[in-house]
């Protein structure tokens, strides 16, 4: 399933997407690729034993010829303002984008919605091309329509050209992502999961990179922020058993307990007795409540504790109008988000300007995602080539709407990132994540 915050309906997904994707998007050269091979990827790894009945032969020692070691040549690369010693690598890359564009049409409502999302994502990728053209490498970007069909994905992965790819982007379905992850590990090709977060896999897979931060990674990032900015303060989590609470809230509580960090969980009601809950200690109240009316009840009931309380909540609160922003400032109101474009920044503003000029509309989060993720993919390949995993781990790389902090876990790479905004001096500011 694909979810989209602040989704904006753009253009007719079926007709316009077919027109947009007819030209094969390629930097320097190339043509749109369509699959015709109808073969299947093996479900499991195969183990082949050669001549199992053959008896062991006597060992005859032979002189081992000396092999001249190949010397690794390094060059200095400047990436995002920092210098790196990087092994010299190739400058001609092939990227396969495997997404459910549904070019043959959409028969169901979920298919139509998915096609619309992928159109928005594609439009973001298309806008990123002008930035990618400034890089020193050549990029051949191949688009393939998975049609959200596992059998189609298997057909695509059996194409001989796939083994020559330097990077895979996609797919989006959980089961299809598992199949593509197996393929990536087998052929040692990095795979960027653009939307779906790959959770548990069969085994450790260092070739899979989740570009969207999972709830667990967001929870870990929040705890790091809390330790740094609110040391020795108590943490109260206000729960309501709704969607945000059941996703991020549960992940946060699980991580707090794993790290043995004290917290107090309280069930929301409109008549909270904060005096009994907070005492006189400095406290961070982290609210999982997203409903506007209930958010206002929380704000108003905490004003008497404003000297000792910092109120934090979802970035959905930023969408609400007709609120008393003076109260927000009195409570040091902060907002949790993974979308940096919630607050104006130079890159997001320029991307939005170009999108409005071309499409006469505002970009959705999927559009930002397509722009940032393709630009990130090409920039790291340009700078580090196939060695990029050695240089990216635990380094925050920021774009207009996304930040990437790739962290190796017990199964694959995850993006450990969460942005904190604060209402201060009558404006929303970004709290640096360093």
| Beta bridge pairs of residue 267 | 239
Structural domain ending residue among the three candidates 337, 364, 391: 337
Domain-embedded: residue 131: yes
pLDDT of 322 higher than 90: no
Contact 261, 235 (CB under 8 A): yes
Residue for token digits 């996304």?
Answer: 402
Confidence of residue 63 (pLDDT cuts 50, 70, 90): low
pLDDT of 32 higher than 60: no
**Are residue 300 and residue 243 in the same domain, yes or no?**
yes
- Is the pTM higher than 0.85? no
Domain-embedded: residue 91: yes
pLDDT tens readout for residues 139-151: 999 999 999 999 9
**Are residue 328 and residue 360 in the same domain, yes or no?**
no
Domain-embedded: residue 190: yes
Instruction: For residue 300, give its domain range.
Output: 215-337
**Are residue 318 and residue 186 in the same domain, yes or no?**
no
| Strands (E) located in 226-268 | 234-239, 264-267
Which phi-psi region, left, alpha or beta, contains residue 188 (left: φ > 0; alpha: ψ -120 to 50)? left
Residue for token digits 């001096």?
Answer: 425
Q: What is the mean pLDDT of residues 65-76?
A: 76
**Are residue 88 and residue 209 in the same domain, yes or no?**
yes
Q: Which of 179-183, 195-199, 365-369 has the lowest mean pLDDT?
A: 195-199
**Are residue 151 and residue 282 in the same domain, yes or no?**
no
**Are residue 203 and residue 295 in the same domain, yes or no?**
no
**Are residue 224 and residue 295 in the same domain, yes or no?**
yes
- Rounded Cα gap, residues 348 and 44, in angstroms: 43
Domain-embedded: residue 124: yes
pLDDT tens readout for residues 273-299: 999 999 889 999 999 999 999 999 999
Domain-embedded: residue 177: yes
- Rounded Cα gap, residues 399 and 317, in angstroms: 23
**Are residue 155 and residue 17 in the same domain, yes or no?**
yes
Q: What is the mean pLDDT of residues 42-69?
A: 42
Contact 181, 207 (CB under 8 A): yes
**Are residue 269 and residue 302 in the same domain, yes or no?**
yes
Residue for token digits 């253009």?
Answer: 11
Structural domain ending residue among the three candidates 306, 337, 368: 337
**Are residue 149 and residue 294 in the same domain, yes or no?**
no
Q: What is the mean pLDDT of residues 260-271?
A: 96
Structural domain ending residue among the three candidates 317, 337, 357: 337
CATH number at 398 reads 3.40.50.2300
Contact 364, 371 (CB under 8 A): no
**Are residue 168 and residue 231 in the same domain, yes or no?**
no
More confident residue, 44 or 86: 86
pLDDT tens readout for residues 119-165: 999 999 999 999 999 999 999 999 999 999 999 999 999 999 999 99
Q: What is the mean pLDDT of residues 299-316?
A: 95
Domain-embedded: residue 50: no
Q: What pLDDT was estimated at residue 27?
A: 38
Q: What pLDDT was estimated at residue 323?
A: 83
Domain count, the chain: 2
Domain-embedded: residue 73: no
**Are residue 316 and residue 282 in the same domain, yes or no?**
yes
pLDDT of 423 higher than 70: yes
Parallel, antiparallel or unpaired: strands 92-99 and 167-169: parallel
Confidence of residue 29 (pLDDT cuts 50, 70, 90): very low
pLDDT tens readout for residues 216-246: 999 999 999 999 999 999 999 999 999 999 9
Domain-embedded: residue 93: yes
């Amino acid at each position: 399933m694909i979810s989209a915050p602040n989704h904006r309906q753009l253009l007719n997904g079926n007709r316009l997407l077919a027109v947009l994707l007819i030209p094969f998007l390629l930097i320097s050269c190339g043509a749109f690729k369509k699959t015709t091979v109808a073969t299947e990827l093996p479900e499991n790894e195969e183990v082949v034993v050669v001549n199992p009945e053959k008896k062991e032969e006597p060992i005859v020692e032979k002189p081992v010829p000396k092999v001249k070691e190949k010397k690794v040549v390094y060059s200095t690369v400047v990436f995002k303002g920092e210098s790196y010693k990087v092994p010299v690598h190739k400058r001609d890359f092939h990227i396969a984008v495997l997404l459910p564009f549904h070019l043959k049409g959409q028969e169901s409502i979920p298919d139509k919605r998915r096609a619309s999302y992928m159109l928005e994502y594609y439009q973001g990728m298309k806008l990123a091309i002008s930035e990618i053209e400034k890089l020193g490498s050549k990029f051949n970007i191949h688009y393939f329509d998975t049609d959200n069909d596992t059998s189609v994905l298997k057909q695509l992965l059996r194409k001989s050209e796939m083994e020559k790819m330097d990077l895979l982007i996609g797919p989006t379905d959980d089961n299809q992502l598992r199949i593509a992850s197996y393929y990536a590990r087998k052929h040692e090709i990095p795979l960027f999961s653009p939307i779906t977060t790959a959770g548990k896999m069969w085994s450790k897979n260092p070739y899979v990179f989740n570009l969207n931060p999972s709830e667990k990674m967001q929870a870990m990032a929040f705890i790091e922020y809390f330790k740094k900015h609110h040391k020795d303060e108590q943490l109260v989590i206000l729960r309501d058993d709704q969607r945000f609470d059941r996703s991020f809230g549960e992940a946060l509580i699980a991580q707090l307990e794993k790290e043995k960090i004290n917290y107090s969980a309280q069930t929301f009601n409109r008549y909270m007795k904060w005096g009994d809950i907070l005492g006189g200690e400095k406290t961070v109240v982290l609210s999982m409540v997203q409903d506007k009316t209930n958010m206002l009840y929380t704000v108003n009931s905490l004003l008497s504790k404003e000297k000792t309380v910092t109120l934090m909540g979802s970035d959905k609160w930023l969408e609400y109008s007709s609120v008393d922003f003076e109260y927000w400032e009195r409570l040091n109101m902060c907002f949790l988000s993974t979308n940096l474009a919630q607050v104006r920044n130079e890159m997001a503003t320029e991307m939005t300007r170009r999108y409005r000029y071309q499409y006469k509309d505002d970009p959705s989060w999927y559009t930002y995602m397509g722009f940032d993720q393709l630009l990130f993919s090409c920039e790291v390949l340009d700078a580090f080539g196939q060695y990029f995993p050695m240089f990216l781990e635990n380094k925050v790389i920021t774009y207009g709407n996304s930040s990437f902090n790739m962290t190796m876990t017990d199964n694959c790479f995850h993006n450990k990132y969460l942005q904190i905004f604060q209402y201060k001096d009558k404006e929303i500011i970004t709290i640096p994540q360093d």
